[in-house]
Structure 1
């Protein structure tokens, strides 16, 4: 069943879009990621212009993240104080990222930036997560897992402006979550992602937060950052396709509730390994698209003032 998207200016299959939204919502509930790392490339693969895919994908993440947060909130797995500090950095970062996005869109380089950003970040993060999670699974099966401290201490834990986050059992510098939030905010604006694929590993391995609290807290921050990105893109670049966003949101909400139930029954290392594999698959597809010969070898661009 074809549906015409006014901003993207193409027709798409209704059931394909609904299926994509449901699948991304499922991932959101399972892994604590907004799912934008998968949604934006999927939209691009179906023919949606990259700029529209980024802005609209960010809008869809709002609904998926709200649904996931509500489920985790009922289980008491959201650190509201940590989420607020992350959010402050995220709002500033998303504003800066949107400004950069608008400049590159004007220069005609935004499509290449989106693809290169995905290949770089998904490749690095996916590889590290897969290596770590497989190592944890092997150790647990061999019975060689040693009892560790709640978290490792690095030089960053000695930074000033320390705050106590009781829910996460942490006493760390507020500069750490602020910087992380700022960086993720930039990625959200440029790549149309919630940033969970970076935020979740950083919160676990860098800040030492318990995995059970990380997912709900990550989704809480994603809600407001992606909402801010959607608003800024709609004002500055006019690339938010409302119809596409509504279709994606309606199915993502259902998928997130199902994903939360599935995720609660799986071990942490299993969740991380599955997420890493999906990240690497998307990275591989984007990398191939960059290096393979396109179907259309030539294109015509009409510049203003030419006749």
Structure 2
């Protein structure tokens, strides 16, 4: 029961992050699961099984509010599902020792990306334009699906910013279409893990805990995004991902020691300081206006 509650908390935290940033449910939950001692393959499998439920609800919600371009969904979801299935079976067949540093390194890269996107840059929201073609959606879905299944997350961080920056689709449609496509990606990855790991190898307590926590957190995500600056939240999430996976990487190399943590802790402190100063600067420039509180998710 105690472990189940831990998984519920992980799912709740990950959904709160995803609801505020528009991404990082998989990256956050996978990082926290691996940090608690769950193997990388089981962690990624559990995240994707839970996401089958959360992405289905998300996709239906976006469809209901008219945020889905079904042509984009089709061209993105099919290659995304293929990439996810291939990545899941590859990770399932890899030895645990070999997979740990690979996944930790991949998650560190995604953590750096989240920090760069929400702390050191101000994403521009393009106006509605042409719809993206298969030359972009095909490779993007394939790469995004593979990274998502092998790293336990990454579909949102890879696909959403790429499509928004392309200027070929309204951002509202980008978020809705990517979220809807993720259902196929999560389902394909789950099938791949079932093939590679078998049903007996999956701890359904983890799946149930993540799903329960995500469902509980979903209604509060909108509240959180109104009361917490996105640069600060991005700094906290990115730093958490860096620290947890740096720790995993050190342990996999038998190099864990107190001095070894100094560099990553310093990076986290610097990043958070920059984010706080950025928010403080905005508040000063606007005479106390809450311009740093972005009401809409951008990626």
When normalised by structure 2's length, the TM-score is: 0.73
User: Given that residues 29 and 68 in structure 1 are in contact (C-alpha distance below 8 angstroms), is that contact kept between their aligned partners in structure 2?
Assistant: no
Describe the shift of the 1:176–1:30 C-alpha distance in structure 2 as closer, same or farther (beyond 3 A).
same
Secondary structure in 2 aligned to 1:209?
coil
1:183 aligns with 2:172: no
Instruction: Decide which of 274, 287, 300 is 2:246's aligned counterpart.
Output: 287
Instruction: Decide which of 15, 21, 25 is 2:5's aligned counterpart.
Output: 15
Q: Which residue of 2 aligns with 1:143?
A: none
Tell me the distance in 1 between the aligned counterparts of 2:15 and 2:49: 13
Describe the shift of the 1:225–1:294 C-alpha distance in structure 2 as closer, same or farther (beyond 3 A).
same
Q: How does 1:7-156 map to 2 (within 5 A)?
A: 12=3, 14-33=4-23, 35-105=25-95, 108-133=97-122, 150=127
Question: What's the CA shift for 1:277?
Answer: 4.6
Higher helix proportion = 2
Secondary structure in 2 aligned to 1:131?
coil
Describe the shift of the 1:186–1:119 C-alpha distance in structure 2 as closer, same or farther (beyond 3 A).
same
Moved more, 109-118 or 28-37: 28-37
Q: CA deviation digits over 1:140-199, x for unaligned, max 9? A: xxxxxxxx963xxxxxxxxxxxxxxxxx64244311011111001101221121511222
Instruction: Decide which of 212, 217, 229 is 1:250's aligned counterpart.
Output: 212
User: Given that residues 51 and 111 in structure 1 are in contact (C-alpha distance below 8 angstroms), is that contact kept between their aligned partners in structure 2?
Assistant: no
Moved more, 93-102 or 113-122: 93-102
User: Given that residues 94 and 229 in structure 1 are in contact (C-alpha distance below 8 angstroms), is that contact kept between their aligned partners in structure 2?
Assistant: yes
Tell me the distance in 1 between the aligned counterparts of 2:236 and 2:170: 22
Structure 1 gap segments, 5+ residues each: 3-11, 137-147, 151-167, 296-307
Moved more, 121-130 or 42-51: 121-130
Rg larger in structure: 1
Describe the shift of the 1:233–1:213 C-alpha distance in structure 2 as closer, same or farther (beyond 3 A).
same
Question: What's the CA shift for 1:125?
Answer: 4.7
Q: How does 1:202-281 map to 2 (within 5 A)?
A: 202-238=162-198, 239-260=201-222, 271=230, 274-275=233-234, 277-281=236-240
User: Given that residues 85 and 191 in structure 2 are in contact (C-alpha distance below 8 angstroms), is that contact kept between their aligned partners in structure 1?
Assistant: no
Describe the shift of the 1:76–1:230 C-alpha distance in structure 2 as closer, same or farther (beyond 3 A).
same
When normalised by structure 1's length, the TM-score is: 0.71
Give the aligned length. 252
Q: CA deviation digits over 1:192-213, x for unaligned, max 9? A: 2151122221121135433322
User: Given that residues 85 and 146 in structure 2 are in contact (C-alpha distance below 8 angstroms), is that contact kept between their aligned partners in structure 1?
Assistant: yes
> RCO greater where, 1 or 2, for CA within 8 Å and sep 6 or more?
1
Tell me the distance in 2 between the aligned counterparts of 1:244 and 1:272: 30
Question: What's the CA shift for 1:257?
Answer: 3.6
- Root-mean-square deviation (CA, aligned residues, Å) is 2.9
User: Given that residues 129 and 201 in structure 1 are in contact (C-alpha distance below 8 angstroms), is that contact kept between their aligned partners in structure 2?
Assistant: no
